[in-house]
Amino acid sequence: MSRPLPLASSPLLASKVPPWRSKLLVGLLVAGFGVLVARAVWIQVVRNDFFQRQGEVRFARTLELPANRGRIFDRNGLLLATSVPAPSVWAIPEDVDATPEQLARLASLLEIPLPELKKKLADDDKTFVWLKRQVDESAWQKIAEMNLRGIHERKEYRRKYPEGEAAAHVVGFTNVENIGQEGVELFFNKDLGGRNGSQRVIKDRYGRVIEGVGEQVPPVDGRDLQLSIDSKVQFFAWQKVRDAVLQNRARAGSAVVLDAITGEVLALANYPSYVPDKRVNLSGAQLRNIALTDTFEPGSTMKPFVVGLALETGRVKPSTPIQTAPGKITITGSTISDAHPHGVLTVEEVIQKSSNVGTVKMAMQMEPREMWEVFSAAGFGQKPQLEFPGAVGGRLRPHKSWRPIEQATMSYGYGLSASLFQMARSYTVFAHEGEIIDATMLKREQPAKGVRVFTPETARTMRRMLQMAAGPGGTAPKAQTVGYSVGGKSGTARKQEGKGYTDKYRAWFTGMAPIDNPRIIVAVMIDEPSNGQFYGGAVAAPVFSEVVQHTLRMMGVQPDVAVKPQIIAPQVQESF
């Protein structure tokens, strides 16, 4: 049994320390905790932004949500341009430890020379180097399978153009940053472009997205475009222009097909062209959209406008005789002549035989202002209102500055200039019952609203004359085609270089079909044919004929000219 120790009274335990010391200690501890609490409040409540930010940097990321660039379709909904994935391959040079065989295979997959690849990987100081931008998805798959260290991809998109060369000038192309550089891609860049969206997310330590923070900014995809181009007509026109350029050993060629009712551009083909998917070492000549950017003196193509004006103002009738002998006419000291002297021609025959003298005689009865008004109403000297970059307006001087000889030469198409596209469009005056209509690159369902230039009767009369010009005894009988009546005017001009004319030529043909109720207008131009033939009627008219034939068949237009059928009906075996 033990006795409880009287602790309080034990002299050994009696403290000699003054009681304030323990109070001080408690006070210090409390103060210490107070400081910690204050600091915690300071960091977590009052001034928490720094650590918040540091924390976010470690787990929050802003993801870019890429917008798709709009696609381009032809009038029948066939793809002309779309975006496809094309990974860009990059490397961290110091991480790469590939064997020489692997490097050789990598170089061949990337389609770059091996020394170039080695040079790119040689610089160990760099932490980032592009090996190749926008390779094929399949090539990257193979590279990924090699499992090389230090080789990475970045997801990118590239435009693909299924129609290739044939529609290159119409559709154009984009650069590596997906910004339109040429053609429709350039003109509608804003519409096609779209806007990238973004979303802030939290990632876990494996890099998986586990939470979205705040509002998502959704990506806005680019608008899809539907062009008026018919890719089959486009291809066929391009093919025929190419064949004609090669056959005539010409420098270039171009064709425009317009719908005569709606004003839609069905085809706009140029040769030489390029493959828009593989653009290397392109020359300016390949890139140029000749039909829109090259202007030249429209020559005989202008004559129908002068004759139309003479008919319209009642100065002549189609059967009015005009003396063109001796095939020459002198105006203020300068002589204008015909290629062949003709004698007395009717107004119709002036167009049919393309007589300069006959046209000049009609033009000289007119005021310069009248002629100028008809020419500008037909779109000459004005930039066409077309949804396309680079279209030029050619040159038509104001009528006040015309001297008599200039008025005379302008009546048969010299002293002013126009592009092939302008010439095609100007012929809507004849094809669209006397009205000029606006051309468009976008699909348009309803007929275009026109501006009247001539009365419907004059337009019909002129169409008959154009038919004669493309018929037997005309300047371009080769424009005729099986099954369809055609009409049009050929033109040939020496090219101007510097101040004088050279012995290089340019040949073209502008016409329409079927002539009674025109559905299409086709203009063809061949630049510098040098294989013996150089007249528009010999070089350009055959292309016109084939393009008309094919286009009208594609459009389902029934032939308006009787054709001797060559269908061999299957023989039916007689039975007993």
Partner 1 sequence: MTRLNLLLIVAVLASAFWLVQVQYRSRVLYSTIYQAEKESRQLEVNRERLEAELRTQGAAGRVERIARERMQMRTPTPAITQYVTRSGAAMPEAAR
Beta-bridged to residue 341, according to DSSP, are: none
Rg (CA), the chain: 39
Which residues fall within 8 angstroms of residue 316, CB to CB, at 6 or more apart?
307, 310, 322, 347, 362
Which residues fall within 8 angstroms of residue 485, CB to CB, at 6 or more apart?
467, 513, 514, 515, 516, 560, 561
Beta strands 151-154 and 88-91: pairing type? antiparallel
Helix (H) / strand (E) element for 91: namely: strand 88-91
Residue among 136 and 387 whose Cβ is closer to partner 1: 136
Q: Name the minimum Å distance from CB 469 to partner 1.
A: 22
The closest of 459, 418, 419 to 435, measured between CA atoms, is 459
Which residues fall within 8 angstroms of residue 183, CB to CB, at 6 or more apart?
168, 169, 170, 171, 172, 173, 289, 388, 389
Residue among 164 and 477 whose Cβ is closer to partner 1: 164
* Tokens representing residue 535 in the block: 């007249």
The closest of 497, 485, 475 to 541, measured between CA atoms, is 475
The catalytic site residues sit at 300
Q: Name the minimum Å distance from CB 79 to partner 1.
A: 4
Residue among 267 and 423 whose Cβ is closer to partner 1: 267
Helix (H) / strand (E) element for 63: namely: strand 60-65
The closest of 153, 155, 181, 154 to 81, measured between CA atoms, is 181
Residue among 440 and 549 whose Cβ is closer to partner 1: 549
Looking at 128-282, list the stretches that DSSP marks H as alpha helix, in order from N- to C-terminal side: 137-146, 168-171, 183-187, 189-193, 231-247
Residue among 267 and 292 whose Cβ is closer to partner 1: 267
The closest of 501, 349, 240, 280 to 357, measured between CA atoms, is 349
* Tokens representing residue 27 in the block: 């006070």
Beta strands 72-73 and 225-226: pairing type? parallel
Q: Name the minimum Å distance from CB 518 to partner 1.
A: 18
DSSP 242-306: HHHHHHTT-SEEEEEEEETTT-BEEEEEEES---TTS--S--HHHH--HHHH-EE--GGGGHHHH
Residue among 47 and 155 whose Cβ is closer to partner 1: 155
Q: How far apart are CA 22 and CA 45, in angstroms?
A: 34
Q: Name the minimum Å distance from CB 314 to partner 1.
A: 38
Q: Name the minimum Å distance from CB 276 to partner 1.
A: 12
Q: Name the minimum Å distance from CB 568 to partner 1.
A: 9
Residue among 155 and 395 whose Cβ is closer to partner 1: 155
Q: Name the minimum Å distance from CB 556 to partner 1.
A: 10
* Tokens representing residue 576 in the block: 């007993």
* Tokens representing residue 42 in the block: 């300071």
Residue among 209 and 339 whose Cβ is closer to partner 1: 209
Looking at 313-438, list the stretches that DSSP marks H as alpha helix, in order from N- to C-terminal side: 347-353, 356-363, 368-377, 404-411, 420-426, 428-431
Q: How far apart are CA 107 and CA 117, in angstroms?
A: 6
Q: Name the minimum Å distance from CB 71 to partner 1.
A: 8
Q: Name the minimum Å distance from CB 256 to partner 1.
A: 18
Residue among 234 and 492 whose Cβ is closer to partner 1: 234
Judge contact between 267 and 233, C-beta under 8 A.
yes
- Provide the binding-site residues for partner 1, judged by CB under 8 A: 68, 78-79, 82-85, 137, 160, 162-166, 201, 204, 208-212, 231-232, 234-236, 239, 482-484, 549-550, 553, 558-567
